[in-house]
Amino acid sequence: MYTAHARLVSVARRRRYYGGSPVSHSGGREPAVSLSLLDATMVGIGAMIGAGIFVLTGLAVEISGPAAIVVFALNGGVTTFTALSYAELAAAIPRNGGGYAYVREVFSAPVSFVMGWTRWFTYMIAGSLYALGFASNFVEFGHLYGFTLPGPPVLYALGAVVTLVALNALSTEASGRGETAITLVKIAILGVFVVFGLTATKVGEFDPLFTEGPLAVLPAMGLTFIAFQGYDLIATVTEEVENPRVNIPRAILLSVLTTVVVYLLVVFVAIGTLGADGLAGAGETAIAEAAEGFMPTFPLIGTGAALIAFGAVFSTISALNAVVIGSSRVAFAMGRERQLPASLGRFHHRYGTPLVAILVSAVVMLVAVVVVPIRIVGNLASLFSLLGFIIVNYALIRLRRRQPDLQRPFEVPYYPITPVLGIVCNALLGLFIDPFTWALAIGWLIFGGVVYFLLSRRGDIGPTESPEIQDPEPIPTAEQGDD
């Protein structure tokens, strides 16, 4: 998945060194790397399916009981509202910066700073969530083969972050189609889980559905919302997508739909086989433990549950990689726009990667891995996702009002109902997240405010709006200039 990163770099390099020469000669634009509809869809699915479903299913069931399936279904619906907004904005505004770039286009500097700051934090905190999920599933994977891995899981989480950061910081080498293959493997492993699980699923586990009361669905939705975050990564690679006007909106919507279907099947099987109580007890490794109950024994691999545990390890690590890239991209974009120190917005002269942006993001991830408990991490990541998505929906409404004549190749259906519903639902879910998480979130925002204030005082944040007026270059009249 570090291919996305390689693309970022390749685009920047192409721009820097090859200027517009292919354009001015042929008239057609031929990007060096191009993503088909399938590839673009897989970028989104790859970032979404992974950590969330493996790590958070157990925690969601613990909160809401068998109604966790309702939780995932409703979250899918809520996500779709915002995904539609992303689709419209991405098709109309050709920028590689994702949500931050759109908001920068529509709002004043402080608002876009808040957007960038929250998106950045979302990716970083999601990174620590995935790292923790990776660690517990890795230990579980060892257990299945009878190994007891030494040391606390958090060490493996730190190791995973450090390794992926090093890979992304030092190299941009990766194959173009690798991402699609990795994502297909993840879906295939979950497919195996669902196929074998369906035979063992007992529908009786869902009766009664709301064991913890219908209202328990809301906090569980808040917690698991992060599992639907990642399709926006498509919006950060838009310029490499073939026929972008058509394919970007399709890729965004397809990736969300596919993910929702996969999640519902997986959660249905997990609850139907292991039961709500069993899942709740298993925590971050719930899916792998559910698999132990019904998976047959395969040659070579041994127990079928090992395959699922492997899927969890593999998925969390690839999702972690995606957010390492995602977070450095946002920091990079903010550095380029002078909303963070300019050094974040530069490529390293030797490695060709946004090294500073990656390292700074890594530090926050590592701190979060060590300090914050997993449930809080999940909540925090979800809360910041929700806040960011509220701003994106509002940006869509504001852009429709301010720029009615903007070309919109894809339009959100039932405007303005859809984005308004997006805002209301996201806000509602945010309200059901616990006060401690809010306190942490507000703390991060205040910290952001201080950073913004200090940077603007030091003059690092450029008022890009007031360029120095250059003296006009005189153009000679015909008598003077032509010989």
What mask, x for binding another protein by CB under 8 A, covers residues 448 to 467? Answer: --------------x-xxxx
> In angstroms, what CA-CA distances link 149 with 137, 145, 154, 456?
12, 11, 12, 49
Asked if 37 touches another protein (CB under 8 A), the answer is no
Q: Which is nearer to another protein, 299 or 467 (CB)?
A: 467
CB-count exposure of residue 120 (10 Å: 0-12, 13-18, 19+): buried
CB of residue 103 to another protein, shortest distance in Å:
13
Asked if 173 touches another protein (CB under 8 A), the answer is no
Query: Residues for the chain: how many in total?
Result: 483
What mask, x for binding another protein by CB under 8 A, covers residues 312 to 351? Answer: ------------------------xxx---x---------
CB of residue 176 to another protein, shortest distance in Å:
19
**Could you say which of 146, 150, 299, 476 contacts another protein (CB under 8 A)?**
476
Token couple for 481: 């200039």
Asked if 478 touches another protein (CB under 8 A), the answer is yes
What mask, x for binding another protein by CB under 8 A, covers residues 389 to 428? Answer: -------------xxxxxx-x-------------------
> Do residues 213 and 289 make contact, with C-beta atoms less than 8 angstroms apart?
no
What mask, x for binding another protein by CB under 8 A, covers residues 236 to 265? Answer: --xx----xx--------------------
CB of residue 356 to another protein, shortest distance in Å:
15
> Do residues 429 and 222 make contact, with C-beta atoms less than 8 angstroms apart?
yes
Q: Which is nearer to another protein, 199 or 477 (CB)?
A: 477
Asked if 300 touches another protein (CB under 8 A), the answer is no
Asked if 446 touches another protein (CB under 8 A), the answer is no
Token couple for 278: 């069993």
Closest by CA position to 48, among listed 309, 368, 379, 315: 315
Q: Which is nearer to another protein, 203 or 475 (CB)?
A: 475
Residues 6+ apart with CB under 8 A from 272: 197, 200, 201, 202, 203, 205, 206
In the chain, the amino acid numbered 191 is G
Q: Which is nearer to another protein, 342 or 420 (CB)?
A: 342
Asked if 32 touches another protein (CB under 8 A), the answer is no
CB of residue 82 to another protein, shortest distance in Å:
21
Q: Which of residues 6-25 bind another protein (CB under 8 A)?
A: 12, 14-16, 18-20, 23-24
**Could you say which of 30, 173, 207, 483 contacts another protein (CB under 8 A)?**
483
Distance CA 64, CA 49 (A): 21
Closest by CA position to 312, among listed 137, 169, 452: 137
What mask, x for binding another protein by CB under 8 A, covers residues 218 to 237? Answer: --------------------
Asked if 477 touches another protein (CB under 8 A), the answer is yes
CB of residue 336 to another protein, shortest distance in Å:
5
Kind of pairing between the strands at 302-303 and 297-298: antiparallel
Token couple for 170: 């030092």
Asked if 289 touches another protein (CB under 8 A), the answer is no
Peptide bond preceding 150 in cis form (omega within 30 of 0): no
Asked if 204 touches another protein (CB under 8 A), the answer is no
Token couple for 258: 């596919």
Distance CA 89, CA 478 (A): 47
Residues 6+ apart with CB under 8 A from 447: none
Query: How many residues sit close enough to another protein to count as binding (CB under 8 A)?
Result: 49
Residue 212: how many other CB atoms lie within 10 Å = 18
How many angstroms separate the most distant Cα atoms in the chain?
94
Instruction: Provide the 8-state DSSP code for 241.
Output: B
The residues binding another protein (CB under 8 A) are 12, 14-16, 18-20, 23-24, 29, 92-95, 105, 238-239, 244-245, 336-338, 342, 402-407, 409, 462, 464-478, 480-481, 483
